[in-house]
Amino acid sequence: MSGKQNSSYIEKKQRFSERKMAKVIEQYLRKRGYTTVCELVLNNRYFDIKEITGKELTKVRIDVAAHKNGNITFIEIENGLWLTHPLLYRELAHRLFLAFPKGYTSPVDKEQLQFAAAFGIGIVAVQKTGELELLAEPTNHPIPEKRARVIINLINKRARQKKEGNQSPPVISSFK
């Protein structure tokens, strides 16, 4: 390998992927009493995704879905700050976060923090060591109780399946 190819290869190997960040976040939340799953897919079987999100979508995939004490938390993981993405889930979770790798070159500037605050999105910087740094606090957002119960049940079902060794995530649908 040439020097340039070698450094590119090393960079890719050392990159903190979204999947790795999801595992770090999942462990962090479990230690704090949350029931968690990665890659929860919600589609039109239980919910009208198009109506809920206001977008031409038939399903959404949440990177990390968790609940504790009846409150649902969704975390969207990005390798940068894409604050509009978590807004898709506004009507599906009580709290929303955007997580990105600590040290990422995208600056967390005043404008992004104001946008996050205006829409109640929390921002978390994730370290490979398992530490999370809260940069913006989310606001609690009410969602219909019936919708919350369905989502909590789906998270519980996926968590049980994972515990029992069934790693393949079922595709979950929508609530009308």
Task: State the alpha helices, DSSP H only, in 15-93.
Answer: 18-31, 49-53
Say whether pLDDT at 150 is over 90: yes
Q: Is the pLDDT of residue 117 over 50?
A: yes
The yes-or-no verdict on residue 176 having pLDDT over 60 is no
Its CATH class, for the domain covering 15-172, is alpha beta
Confidence of residue 69 (pLDDT cuts 50, 70, 90): very high
pLDDT in the model for residue 82: 66
Query: Does residue 12 have a pLDDT over 80?
Result: no
Pairing between β-strand 95-101 and β-strand 121-126 as defined by DSSP bridges: parallel
For residue 7, name the pLDDT band (cuts at 50, 70, 90). very low
Mean pLDDT of 5-16: 46
Q: Decide which of 157 and 100 is more confident.
A: 157
> Structural domain boundaries of the chain?
15-172
Q: How far is the C-alpha of 66 from the C-alpha of 123, rounded, in Å?
A: 16
Q: Residues 42, 46, 52, 57: is their CA dihedral positive or negative?
A: positive
174 — pLDDT class (breaks 50, 70, 90): very low
